[in-house]
Amino acid sequence: MADNSHPNAEVHYIGIGGMAEAIGVSRQAIRNMELAGIVPPADRLDPGHRRIWRVADLEAIRAHVASHRANKRARSSRVSAA
């Protein structure tokens, strides 16, 4: 997993590709989860407004996504059992 240093701070950041790899989903899935509020909004790095998240937040984001997946599976199993 690659992380990058934001040029103006000592905080380390991870881009969308690293985030997707760490969580085990596609980049588009990360974008969709951000729009749905499952993943917190990314900071934007100029130029190009690339999405970046703090590496320190990765575990919280991973846990949030795992919880969302578990809830989705639970709802799906209730529907298929009916």
pTM to 2 decimal places? 0.64
What tokens were used for 2?
């690659």
Identify the CATH number of the domain in which residue 14 sits: 1.10.1660.10
Cβ-in-10-Å burial (0-12, 13-18, 19+) of 38 comes to: middle
pLDDT in tens, 13-69: 899 999 999 988 899 998 898 898 888 888 887 777 888 998 888 888 888 888 888
The sign of the dihedral angle between the CA atoms of 29, 65, 19, 21 is negative
Range of the domain at 32: 4-81
For the chain, what is the domain count? 1
pLDDT in tens, 49-62: 888 998 888 888 88
What is the percent of the chain with per-residue pLDDT over 90, rounded to a whole number? 12
